Chains A and B, each alone.
Chain A
Amino acid sequence: MKNILETKELIKSFGGVHAVDHLSVNIQEGQITGLVGPNGSGKTTLINLLSGFSLHDGGSVFFGGAERKKITPWENQIYNITRTFQQIKLFDQMSVLDNILVIITERNPFLALFERHSKYHISQAEDILKQVDLFEKRFHNAGELSYGQKKLLEIGRVLAMDTKIILFDEPFAGLFPEIIKKIENIIKALKQEGKTIVLVEHNMNIIRNLCDHLIVMDAGKLLAEGHPEKVLTERVVLEAYLGE
């Protein structure tokens, strides 16, 4: 396995708070890497930095061995990376179908001006909606969906992006077991397709069930990493994160 994503001495501060503090981690290609830690440990900040949602203050980020000095979000498609959000960010006043169509249609604004979505685009979007059980809701506005359906639509957008690297930020939070199972199966299928997945999650059963590798953060720093079963028994992790 090779490193597809790597941070070296990555730093992000908000005022005097070091949200990510000289963090060096490796994400291996084709694996599901769990990212855990107490609230405020910097997990979401790290996802934000890797996806260009916010800019890092120092350190380096490497994609496939090449450094991205400034990570701009509109280059995510070029670098084959996408993400979901802890707090759902859908296009609420657009239809469920349009939420997918906007992901699979033209990025270049001049070409987009002359592009009409074709039967191919519709069929592709509908296939994705079937995968996330939202086909019946395709003409509803995204804002009208239930919380669980909104989470599924976020997953649908990730499927539509079809990138090599996917960052999931708490995709299971607040969901019923049935939808959790559904999303678990989608993530497993993505791994089967060879995708590299980073999963921020608090539920240790899900972490044990899905992850090949686990990174534990605390106060913006790397606390421990390795195989989940091994890491979750380390004293330092139990003390700092699980309070045991």
Chain B
Amino acid sequence: MEYIFHITILISIYGILALAQNLVMGSAGLLTIAGAAFYGIGAYTAAILATAFGFNIFTTLIIAPIVAGLIALGIGISFARFRDDYFLLATLGFLMIFNTVVRNWENVTGGSFGIAGIPKPHIFSLTFDTPFSFLVLALIVLFIVIGICYFISRSSFGRVLNAIREDEDALKIFGYKTSTYKLMVFVIGAMLSSLGGVLLASYITFIDANLFTVNESILLWAMIILGGIAKNRGALLGALLLITIPEALRFFGFPNEIAGLMRQCIYGLLLVFLMLYRPKGILGQYKL
């Protein structure tokens, strides 16, 4: 049963990350590979505040989105002139800078040793230290994120994001300052991603830079493309499938190290297959 809880916690965390990625990339069409960086910013903010300053993880669930949001605001303003593949390359550059900083800023991030001993969340006398209790917390955060994503996608703001994805130049003519919309959704996406990072840090109690590489961002891409771009349900389905399918490999008797490599192959093959035969994904109605 604990294994089921563990998998469901991972699905919840990746569900949050996929929803955030979908908001930025699926709804607004911003090709970003910085998802893992904001996820990492959330994780490191929680880890540093909890281990070095004794903050409760619940408090970091509030502080981490603020930190990630402010960084995203700076990055978004700096990258405002970039579009499409230029924006993609710029966000890749940001992810590489983030990864290099956390690998080398040993005093703060622990460098390549990472940060261990990240506490579980606790409130009053209740500590979320069992898989079940942590699952409840992860699901609560997931449902909050789902609520935010649906709130945005059903608003006029969400419709404008879709129009930006379709034809930003045409939309501008109708009186929209699209750069503000893009900046806002980039910041909101970063804030939501950071929540996934906080949960991950507290759940596995140890983080290092290897968790927040370009592979993680590609995994998030694969999730939203598989599930269906610009669909919140699609992002959740993508997270569900891409967490459970590789786990299933364990039952085919693959050793852990082979299963890990197979997982990367599966993500890559799925992306190629989907681009060829189902660019809109399983539940999607849109293609990039």
* Bound Cα distance from A77 to B180, whole angstroms: 16
Across the interface, B157 reaches (CB within 8 A) one of A98, A103, A113, namely A113
* Bound Cα distance from A114 to B158, whole angstroms: 10
Q: Does A175 reach chain B (CB closer than 8 Å)?
A: no
* Bound Cα distance from A98 to B178, whole angstroms: 17
Q: Does B156 reach chain A (CB closer than 8 Å)?
A: yes
Q: A102-B163, A112-B156 are in contact. Are A107 and B169 (CB under 8 A)?
A: no
Q: Does A115 reach chain B (CB closer than 8 Å)?
A: yes
Q: Does B175 reach chain A (CB closer than 8 Å)?
A: yes
- A38-82 at interface with B (beta carbon < 8 Å): 51-53, 73-78, 82
Q: Which residues of chain A are within 8 angstroms of B156 by Cβ–Cβ distance?
A: 101-102, 105-106, 112-113, 115-117
Contact B176 A74 (CB under 8 A): yes
- A87-105 at interface with B (beta carbon < 8 Å): 89-94, 98, 101-103, 105
Contact A92 B155 (CB under 8 A): no
Contact B174 A91 (CB under 8 A): no
Most chain A beta-carbon neighbours within 10 Å: one of B160, B285, B287: B160
* Bound Cα distance from A112 to B163, whole angstroms: 14
Contact A89 B167 (CB under 8 A): yes
Q: A102-B171, A114-B155 are in contact. Are A107 and B163 (CB under 8 A)?
A: no
Q: Chain A's nearest CB lies how many Å from the CB of B191?
A: 14
Q: A91-B162, A109-B157 are in contact. Are A74 and B181 (CB under 8 A)?
A: no
* Bound Cα distance from A76 to B177, whole angstroms: 11
Contact A112 B167 (CB under 8 A): no
Across the interface, B163 reaches (CB within 8 A) one of A91, A109, A116, namely A91
Q: Which residues of chain A are within 8 angstroms of B154 by Cβ–Cβ distance?
A: 116
Q: Which residues of chain A are within 8 angstroms of B166 by Cβ–Cβ distance?
A: 90-94
Contact B160 A76 (CB under 8 A): no
Q: Does B55 reach chain A (CB closer than 8 Å)?
A: no
Q: Does A183 reach chain B (CB closer than 8 Å)?
A: no
Q: A89-B170, A90-B167, A93-B286 are in contact. Are A112 and B157 (CB under 8 A)?
A: yes
Q: Report the tally of A-B residue pairs with Cβ distances under 8 A.
A: 95
Q: Does B89 reach chain A (CB closer than 8 Å)?
A: no
* Bound Cα distance from A105 to B175, whole angstroms: 11
Q: Does A83 reach chain B (CB closer than 8 Å)?
A: yes
Q: Does A241 reach chain B (CB closer than 8 Å)?
A: no
Contact A102 B174 (CB under 8 A): yes
Q: Does A161 reach chain B (CB closer than 8 Å)?
A: yes
* Bound Cα distance from A120 to B184, whole angstroms: 27
Q: Does B173 reach chain A (CB closer than 8 Å)?
A: yes
* Bound Cα distance from A98 to B159, whole angstroms: 7
Contact A53 B171 (CB under 8 A): no
Q: Which residues of chain A are within 8 angstroms of B155 by Cβ–Cβ distance?
A: 112-116
Q: Chain B's nearest CB lies how many Å from the CB of A86?
A: 12
Q: Does B172 reach chain A (CB closer than 8 Å)?
A: yes
Given A92-B167, A113-B157; 8 other pairs, CB 8 A cutoff: A53-B173, A73-B172, A74-B175, A76-B175, A82-B174, A112-B157, A113-B152, A115-B157
Write the residues of chain A forming the contact surface with B, with a CB cutoff of 8 angstroms. Answer: 51-53, 73-78, 82-83, 85, 89-94, 98, 101-103, 105-107, 109, 112-117, 157, 161
